Structure formats: C-alpha cells, structure tokens
C-alpha cells in the first residue's frame, strides 16, 4: 500500500480553494502510484472554524465540498477531515470526523473522541465525543484511524480517562493513521515527536501522521508530518512551514529513511522567524490584503517587524513611517533611515511635534499648571497612532503592531497609540528573543543597524528616557514572565528559584493590572506555548495578584 501524506495550507471557509487543492493532490498522487491520500483534520473547512460551526449552511457546504472530492476518488482512496451532524437527539450537534472514501463513496466514518478544551482549543464547545471505535479495512490491511488529540493521552498525567487506541488495538490493526491540526509553538515539535513515537512503540504499529500547514489569523500550523515504524523510530519527517506531499510504501517502512533523509530541525529562534513570516503572509493573502504600514522608530522592535514584513510581503509592499518627536534623538532617525536603505521598503517622515504641541495647547486650560507626566507621553504615542491610521485609511495599508511580549505582559504601551494595529507580529516574542531575532535576520548581511541592536531600549517620550527607568532589566524580567506565563508559576515559586521578591511581586502585579489593555490589542501571532489572546483567558476585574 502506497500512502500519500498531503500536508496542505487550508483557508477557513474557502471551500472552493480547499476542494481544488485536494482534488489536484488526488490526481497528482494517483499519477505517482499512491493508493491512499491522507488529508488533515477538518481539512474541508479549515481549522479552527469556531462559530462558523453553528451555521447549518456552513455544515451543508462542508458536506457538499467533501462530496465533490469523493467524485474524484476513482482507483484511489482518501481520508478527509470534516464536521458532520450528530444524528442522535442527545449531545452536541456535531462530530469532528473523518471520511474514508473509495470508489467515489464514503466507506467508513471515524469520529474524534478526545476533544481538547484548553489553551487555543475549544472543541467541546461544538463537538460530541465519539464513544465507539472500529478499524477500517483497505487493501487487505486494517487501519486504526484517529484524529489529532486521540493520540495525545499518553503521558504520566493523562488528561482524559479513556484512550481510543486501547479499543482499536483489540481489532489487531496493521497500521495507525492520525490526521491532525496541531498548532505551532517553538517547543511543540519535540513534544509532538515524543508523543507520537510513544504511541507507535506502545501499540507496536507503524504510524502515519499528517498535520496541516499555514496560518489562520493568530494560530500558525507548521506542518512537519511524520512517519514512525512499529518500534517508535522516526522514519520520515516532512517539511516545516510549507506545503508538502510525500508518498510512502507501507511494506518498506524500515527503508523509508533512504528515500527521505532526516531533516535537521531548526532552533527556536529560526522556527519563530519562519513562523512569523508564514503568519504575516497568510494573514494578508487570506484576507485579500497586500500592503502593510508600520511606525519605524529606530528601535529594535519596529526594526524587526519591518524586516519580517518585507520578507513576508516584499519590500515594495511595506510602508515605514518615521514619526520623530521633540525627544527623538538624531541617531534614532538615522538608524531608521539606515534600515530603510538596507531593506528597500517605502518610507515617509512625519514629525509629530506640531501635533503634540497642539494637544498640549488645547488641553492647557483643563490641565492648568499640572506638571508633565505620563499623560503627555501618551499624547505623543497617540499622535503616532493617528498618523498611522490615517496612512492606513488613505492608502489601504494594513497596520502592523510592533509591541513585544514583555511590553504586552506588563502594560508598557499606550492604548490607541503604539498598541494599535490589525496584527501584532511580535506580541508573543519576549524582548530578549527580539534581540536574537534581529541577529538572526542579520546573519547573512547587516539589515538591522548594529546600533539599533546594541543601544539601550527607549520609548523616547521624555528627555533621556530608558525602558530601564520603569522596568527591570529585560534579562531578568523575561525570565520572571516566562516562569509565570508559560510555566504558570506563582510569585512564591519564582522567588524560591532565587529571583528578587520585590521584582517578582511588582512584575506579577503589573501583568494582572494590564489585562484590560490586552483585551483591546490586535490578534497576536502565536509562537510560544502560552500566548496572550484566546489561549490565555483572565478576568479584567479579578482581585488575584492585584
């Protein structure tokens, strides 16, 4: 049996494009001798469709699209993921399911049993879990087909009380196939391989795993589809962050490495870089946009976002707006212009001094003789936001937000100013990681000026301002934030590791107080195990840690 794993980039609700891709893949795989093509979880509609699933018309379009794919399954079979109605009166209205199609007909239906409801997942909101299981017979082999999370209940602290494979193994299958929509984080590839390898070894069966690729707003799928032999040894690893279709001979599983050499997986920063490029490009392409605008300050955050946007969209489609204030230094303006020169994007210089002075004059009768403080700093940041949104409205640019995760965490940003935008590119990247990203971007030639990387970070909203005036050193701050956000450690836990108690308590208090700001930020491209947004849901008015 020749099995084609089809790792494709789907578009939520774009049935025409999704169906066309699958049909083209079927025909191409058939010409190459494949017997079975395996598509990803909910491939027909894209993942995650969220409340689209509450529309009966949407579910009907899923069925129609899958039926169209089925008509092309002549002398070749396929596995296709889609939502299907629950015909029983009790329970949720839908199943997260897979159709096994051969000779133009659905010969078997498999329903997902383990429905994740954590982090970015919310499947039990829509789907009823499967309670019965059976293998699929094809070409004289028994296939144990499961859907994503159904294979993830294999660790020392299982999340679910049952395991679909424990039922399926009783029918003595010959192989396992798992279709998935497994989101990217820079720690997830190793975990994914460990879990899937553990399944192959536990059940002593070869395992074929297909993941989807591409970005759906903030969630990024990295692909990396996998094949394991019955001992759990990794035999093939498909491409990351790009579409890929490969055909494997079941009976030659031990020799598959000879045909598909092992890939050297990238390090964390390179993975984050590639994920952000995919996130930007898919957000624009799938939304029908082409041109981006951002504020370019001469600082590290906006420089990295500008460089990423130029790589993802082409420099001719990126407008960098330099908006010096009366507190901006000459070297900041020069650093921004040097970046523009190195990268070749468009740019405009729009000083904000007159606008900020006008607001100061307008508000003077109200503020009277009150001293300069954060209010005037925020007015400058909001002047920049007005300029950028004006550019967006006038020229059709989509505004990219340049706030990093450290700033988002502690609320070091101005609502309706530097926090505005349609997409937050590095909102899940800590400041220390932003510096690493800049060095990675510069690995072949200097794109981001060295001075931008080495100078102390500053918002330049008052004389001689430095981030360190308000925040701990980023090297310390980011470690405390990682322990609290990603690892969910309490203040006491973090202090016990040797961190200063005052720094820890102040930092966690700032994180809690900034929740109201994060509710109003753009979608953040998710690259870590715990990103702000739909994967971290906290009350705004909660008292805890305030």
CB 146 within 8 A of CB 165: yes
- Give CA–CA dist 32/247, Å, rounded: 8
For residue 295, say whether it is annotated as part of any ligand binding site. yes
For residue 299, say whether it is annotated as part of any ligand binding site. yes
At 247, phi and psi to the nearest 5? -115, 130
Q: Are strands 318-322 and 292-295 parallel, antiparallel or unpaired?
A: parallel
- Give CA–CA dist 62/81, Å, rounded: 10
For residue 297, say whether it is annotated as part of any ligand binding site. yes
Cβ-Cβ contacts under 8 Å for 268 (sequence gap 6 or more): 186, 187
For residue 296, say whether it is annotated as part of any ligand binding site. yes
The strand pairing partners of 245, in sequence order, are 6
Tell me if residue 112 is catalytic. yes
At 4, phi and psi to the nearest 5? -100, 125
Please, what is the angle between helix 300-313 and helix 330-343, to 10°? 20
For residue 168, give the H/E element and its range. helix 164-168
Residue of 45, 62, 135, 148 marked active site: 148
For residue 124, say whether it is annotated as part of any ligand binding site. no
Does the CA dihedral 512-514-519-524 come out positive or negative?
Answer: negative
Q: Number of helices (H) and strands (E) in the chain: give both, helices first.
A: 17, 19
Residue of 25, 73, 102, 112 marked active site: 112
- Give CA–CA dist 530/540, Å, rounded: 18
For residue 447, give the H/E element and its range. none
For residue 227, give the H/E element and its range. strand 226-228
For residue 402, say whether it is annotated as part of any ligand binding site. yes
For residue 517, say whether it is annotated as part of any ligand binding site. yes
For residue 341, say whether it is annotated as part of any ligand binding site. no
Provide the 3-class DSSP secondary structure of residue 141.
Answer: strand
Residue of 21, 25, 41, 345 marked active site: 41
Q: What is the DSSP string of 377-434?
A: HHHHHHHHHHHHHHHHHHH-PEEEE---HHHHHHT-S-TTTTT-SSEESSTTS-HHHH
CB 543 within 8 A of CB 517: no
Task: For Cα atoms 126, 127, 131, give the angle at the middle one, nearest 5 degrees.
Answer: 160
For residue 300, say whether it is annotated as part of any ligand binding site. yes
Centre a 10 Å sphere on the Cβ of residue 520 and count the other Cβ atoms it contains.
Answer: 10
Give the active site residues. 41, 112, 148
Annotated binding site for ATP: 295-302, 402
Annotated binding site for L-glutamine: 118, 182
Annotated binding site: 118, 182, 295-302, 378, 402, 407, 517
């Amino acid at each position: 049996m020749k099995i084609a794993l089809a790792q494709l980039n789907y578009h939520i609700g774009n049935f025409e494009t999704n169906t066309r891709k699958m049909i083209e893949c079927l025909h191409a795989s058939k010409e190459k001798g494949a017997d079975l093509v395996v598509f990803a979880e909910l491939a027909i509609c894209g993942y995650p469709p969220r409340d689209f699933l509450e529309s009966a018309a949407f579910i009907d379009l899923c069925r129609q699209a899958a039926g169209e794919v089925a008509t092309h399954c002549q002398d070749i079979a396929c596995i296709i993921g889609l939502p299907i109605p629950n015909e029983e009166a009790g329970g949720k209205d839908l199943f997260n399911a897979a159709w096994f199609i051969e000779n133009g007909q659905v010969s078997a239906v498999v329903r997902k049993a383990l429905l994740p409801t954590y982090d970015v997942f919310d499947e039990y909101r829509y789907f009823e879990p499967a309670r019965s299981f059976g293998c699929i017979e094809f070409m004289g082999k028994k296939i144990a087909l499961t859907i994503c999370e159904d294979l993830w209940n294999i660790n020392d602290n299982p999340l679910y009380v049952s395991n679909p494979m424990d039922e399926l193994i009783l029918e003595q299958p010959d192989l396992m196939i798992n279709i998935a929509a497994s989101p990217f984080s820079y720690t997830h590839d190793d975990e994914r391989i460990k879990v899937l390898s553990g399944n192959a070894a536990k059940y002593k069966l070869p395992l074929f795993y297909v993941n989807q690729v591409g970005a759906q707003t903030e969630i990024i799928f990295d692909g990396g589809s996998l094949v394991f032999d019955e001992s759990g040894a990794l035999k093939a690893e498909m491409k990351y962050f790009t579409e890929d279709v490969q055909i494997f001979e079941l009976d030659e599983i031990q020799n598959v490495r000879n045909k598909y050499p092992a890939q050297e997986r990238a390090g964390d920063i390179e993975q984050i870089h590639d994920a952000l490029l995919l996130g930007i490009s898919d957000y624009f392409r799938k939304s029908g946009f082409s041109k981006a605008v951002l504020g370019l300050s001469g600082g590290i955050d906006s420089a990295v976002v500008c460089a990423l946007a130029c790589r993802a969209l082409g420099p001719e489609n990126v407008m960098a707006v330099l908006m010096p204030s009366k507190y901006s230094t000459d070297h900041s303006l020069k650093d921004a212009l040097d970046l523009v020169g190195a990268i070749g994007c468009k740019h405009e210089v729009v000083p904000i001094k007159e606008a900020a002075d006008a607001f100061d004059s307008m508000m003077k009768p109200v503020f009277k003789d009150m001293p300069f403080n954060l209010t005037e700093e925020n007015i400058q940041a909001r002047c920049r936001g007005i300029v950028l949104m004006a550019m967006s409205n006038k020229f059709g640019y989509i505004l990219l937000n340049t706030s990093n995760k450290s700033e988002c965490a502690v609320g070091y940003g101005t609502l309706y100013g530097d926090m505005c935008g349609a997409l937050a590119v590095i909102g899940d990247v800590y400041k220390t990681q932003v510096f690493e990203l800049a060095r990675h971007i510069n690995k072949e030639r200097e794109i981001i000026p060295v001075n931008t990387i080495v100078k102390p970070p500053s918002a330049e909203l008052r004389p001689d301002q430095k981030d360190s005036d308000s925040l701990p050193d980023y090297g310390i701050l980011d470690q405390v934030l990682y322990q609290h956000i990603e690892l969910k450690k309490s203040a006491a836990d973090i202090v016990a590791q040797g961190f200063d108690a005052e720094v820890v308590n102040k930092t966690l208090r700032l994180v809690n107080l900034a929740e109201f700001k994060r509710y109003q930020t753009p979608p953040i491209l998710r690259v870590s195990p715990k990103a702000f947004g739909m994967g971290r849901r906290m009350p705004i008015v909660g008292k805890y840690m305030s």
